[in-house]
Structure 1
Amino acid sequence: MRPRHPLPSKLPKLWLVSDERAATGLAELAALLPPGGGIIFRHDGLAPEPRWRLLRRLMRTARARGLVVVLAGSPDMAWRWGADGVHLRQRDADRARQAHELGLLVTMPVHDAREARQARRAGADAVFISPLHPTRSHPGAPALSRAAWLRLARLSGATPIALGGMTAPRARALNRTSDRTNGWAAIDAWDEKAAKRRARQKRNAVPI
């Protein structure tokens, strides 16, 4: 089955992971992404109807800015709701075939070698390998070393995306130690960027 929207020839290297804890609205965060970026839409705590409405608003922004949106959930829901792909939790890896038949991109989380191998078997297009650095999302979770992260990237057989305390400087440092350009994703980094942008706009505002 052909995808409902043309899928990108290259997977995004820069991603926003939505989170209900963010102080900034999702539309404002999405506006910070450059064209060709990607969004993992989670907001799992919302009831289906408001979650669908939020996704529809996000999709309008994404279409205008050339962004890829991947829904955390099931392939059939991602297809019905008009997302470009589905973010499958490890427990749903066996649904990757269905997602590909629907013409959806498939992304998966990876935290260890077992999950990396499962993502490879599932034929995931991209994997979010975490945590590379300590992160507020998983307080106390041990971070991966760069060497361990790169081993998981090779083992997964998919486009690797670094997640967990990521910032642009940390992404550049990772890529200096790799033989490929890896992608990166963040939650807090985008929220902090939005806050700095608002503060700058406030400073530059001209009093009436």
Structure 2
Amino acid sequence: MLYFTDPVRTPNPEAVAARLTRGSAIVYRAFGAPDAQAVALRLKAIARRRGLKLLIGADDALAARVGADGVHLPERLAPHAVRIRAKHPSWLITAAAHGPRAARAVVDAVVVSAIFPSNSPSAGKPLGPIRLAQMVRRIGRPAYALGGVSQTTAARLLATGVVGIAGVEVFLSSPLAEGKGEGDRA
């Protein structure tokens, strides 16, 4: 599972991160916040204690400063993955993919969205499970489903080939964050 922070929809990312199951990842998206480094360091401490990974969204310099496990790139920055990989070969690098062309980025995994209608202000037209499955088959690397994923919709993703789900609000009060079940735009 990938938990995407959002300053508006998840104002207390540490509380959510503290409930995630071992093996999940936090994607901290600072969006230029003045306290980004302090928040990232707090999330890193939680990640280490809980067996999580910490990825920094769209800011490889911040990721390096805080000792994150890698970065998540929005689709428009996915071509930078090659440069980042050369500089940080051990990092986990993920990228958003909103169509088959973007999914060709040289990354460890892609986050495909939006799958279902989402509360994200940037969510596009939902792909739906059938188009998601077709895209996952063409991608050839691990893919996560993002956008409108909930306990109700997650079951519709079982046959799509995704390796996991990603989200923002789904982790706020969901048993998904506590490992009792199996998100939004990257």
Instruction: Work out whether the TM-score is over 0.5.
Output: yes
- TM norm structure 2: 0.84
Which residue is 2:94 aligned to?
Answer: 107
Give the partner amino acid of 2:85.
H
- Alignment partner, residue 138 of structure 1: 121
Q: Equivalent residues in 2 for 1:48-63 (5 A)?
A: 50-63=35-48
How is 1:35-184 mapped onto 2 (pairs within 5 angstroms)?
A: 35-47=22-34, 50-101=35-86, 102=88, 103-117=90-104, 119=105, 123-138=106-121, 141-175=124-158, 177-178=159-160, 180=161, 182-184=163-165
* TM-score computed with the length of structure 1 as normaliser: 0.76
Secondary structure (helix, strand or coil) at the match of 1:192 reads: coil
Contact 1:24 1:191 in 2 (8 A): no
Where do 5+ consecutive residues of structure 1 fail to align?
1-13, 198-208
Higher share in helix: 1
Q: CA RMSD in A?
A: 2.1
Task: Output the amino acid matched with 1:38.
Answer: A
Are the structure 2 counterparts of residues 59 and 168 from structure 1 closer, same or farther at C-alpha, using a change threshold of 3 Å?
Answer: same
Count residues in correspondence: 174
Runs of 4+ deviating beyond 4 Å? none
Q: Give 1 or 2 for the bigger CA radius of gyration.
A: 1
Partner of 1:186: 167
Cα distance, 1:169 vs structure 2 = 3.9
